[in-house]
Amino acid sequence: MDSKSIDRIDDPQLRQSISTLLSHHPDTAPVIQQLIDYFTTKLRLASEPPDGSKKRKLDSDAADDGSPRPALATIQEVSVQSPPRGKLTIVITATLLFLSSPKTPTTEYRFLLSSLAHAICVCTPEKTAKSWTIALFSSDSAAEPIIFGFPDKDGARVLLPDCPERPHDVSSLCTLLSSLLGLPLVRPAHSTFVSSAKPAASGDRKGESSHHVTAFLKAKYGALFPLPTGLLFGFRKPILFIPLADIASTTFHGVTSRTFNMTVRLKEGRVALGGGGGAGEYEFSVIEQADFGAIDAYMKNAQVADESLSMQNRAVEKKQKEKKGEKDGEKDRGGEGDDTTGFFSTEYEEDEEDGDFQPEDEDDDSNPDDDEDGEDDDEEDVAEGDGNEEGDGEDEEDELMQ
C-alpha cells in the first residue's frame, strides 16, 4: 500500500490506528486502500467548485456554458470492444465519460453518466489468461454499451488527481467506478448462478467455476450470464442486457438429450438494452442440457413465469414436431435413411445443399453402355440359374469381384 495514501488522512489518531492495523494484518491493505479512494472521491465531488478551473482538465470536457470540468479519474489504455474498438483511455468527470485516443486528445465517444442504468463486471469468458470485462448500459435501449476489459494479473492503470498513477485490481476498480458513476457494479454471485460445466483444467482460471453458459442468439455465438439483476449476453455485437424486472416469462423448448432452447419474453413495450433491435422476445439456443436445472432454478428464484407447459406453446411445439416428422418420413421414402434430429446438418445434407452431393451406389446406371452389358448378364444368369448348385454361387461371386 502506498504510504502517501495514509498521509492523506488528516486525523492523526486514525492514521496511527491504520498503520498499526497494517503492521499486524498486512492482508488488509487492499481493503483500506479502497476505502481511502472511495471517501477521497466522495469528498472531492462534494467540495468541487462549479468551474473546476484549478483542477486538471480535458479540453473536450466542458459544460454547456463552455466552462471546463475536471477529470476525476483516468483509466489508461484499456481494451475497448464497444462502441469503438481498440486501445483507448477512459476519462471520467462529474457528468461525462470519455473514450479518447492515448496518443492524441481526440475524443472517440462521449457517454452521459446520468443516462447510466446498469454497470456490470464479469470474468471474461473463454480466455486462458484470466481477465475482466466491464459493461456499462444506458437507459436508452438503442444506445450501444461501453465494453472494456483488462487483465487480472496487471490490473488497470488508474490516474487520480493529486495521486500518482497506480494499478487497480478488479475489486478496487469496481469500488472506484461505483463511487464515480453512482451505481453499484453488479458481479456474478455463487448464490445466484453457477454453471454445471466442469471447472477450467488449466490456465489462470484452473479450478474456478463458471458463472455463464454458452448459447446462440440467432446466428450469434456468445456467453449468457444469469446475474442478480438480469441476463447479460456477449461479447460479440449485439451485446445485450435484459433486466429481470422487464422479463414477463420464459419458455424452455427444443429439449434434446444434449441441449435445449430458452425463449425470454419481455413485458409489453420493453426491449433489451444494448441496441439489439426492438424485439419483444429473445431465443437463446443450443444451451448445454447440464445447465438446465441451474437456469430453471435461477428463473424460479427470480419469480419469472414459466410458460413451457402452456397450451399455446405446447401446440407450437407439437406442430414443429409434426413438420419434422413429415420431413423425416420424406427422407426415409427417398432412401437416404439419415437420422438428423440435432441442430446441425450431417455431412451428406450439407453436400446436398451445396449441390455437390452424389449418393454412392454400386449399381451406377449413369453409363448407357453399362446398361446394355447388364441386360446381357441378366439373361445369361436366368438361363444358367436352374443348373447351378449352392457351391457354384460362390464361384460366381468370385468372378464378379474380379
Question: Tens of pLDDT along 252-292?
Answer: 999 999 999 999 999 998 999 997 667 789 999 999 999 99
Confidence band for 194, pLDDT divided at 50, 70 and 90: very high
User: Which pLDDT does position 263 carry in this prediction?
Assistant: 96
Q: Tell me the angle at which helices 12-24 and 29-47 cross, rounded to the nearest 10 degrees.
A: 150
User: Which pLDDT does position 178 carry in this prediction?
Assistant: 95
Confidence band for 21, pLDDT divided at 50, 70 and 90: confident
CA distance 132 to 149: 5
CA distance 350 to 362: 22
In which residue are the cell numbers 428463473 written? 299
> 48-186 and 213-308: same fold?
yes
362 pLDDT above the threshold of 70: no
338 pLDDT above the threshold of 60: no
Q: What is the mean pLDDT of residues 139-144?
A: 91
- Domain map of the chain by residue range? 48-186, 213-308, 314-352
Confidence band for 366, pLDDT divided at 50, 70 and 90: very low
Comparing 17 with 57, which gets the higher pLDDT?
A: 17
- Per DSSP, the residues of 49-106 read -SS-TTS-EEEEEE-TTS-EEE-SEEEEEEEEEESS-EEEEEEE-SSEEEEE-SSS--
Task: Select 213-308's CATH number: 3.40.50.450, 2.30.29.30, 1.10.150.120, 3.40.50.300.
Answer: 2.30.29.30
> Nine-digit cell at 399?
468372378
* % of the chain with per-residue pLDDT over 70: 65
At the second CATH level, the architecture of 48-186 is Roll (2.30)
In which residue are the cell numbers 452389358 written? 373
Neighbours of 110 (CB within 10 A): 12
Confidence band for 29, pLDDT divided at 50, 70 and 90: confident
Type of residue at 79: S
Q: What is the mean pLDDT of residues 196-208?
A: 76
User: Which pLDDT does position 317 carry in this prediction?
Assistant: 55
pLDDT digits (tens, 9 = 90+) for 216-248: 999 999 999 999 999 999 998 889 999 999 999
Q: Tell me the angle at which helices 29-47 and 170-181 cross, rounded to the nearest 10 degrees.
A: 20
Q: What is the mean pLDDT of residues 142-160?
A: 94
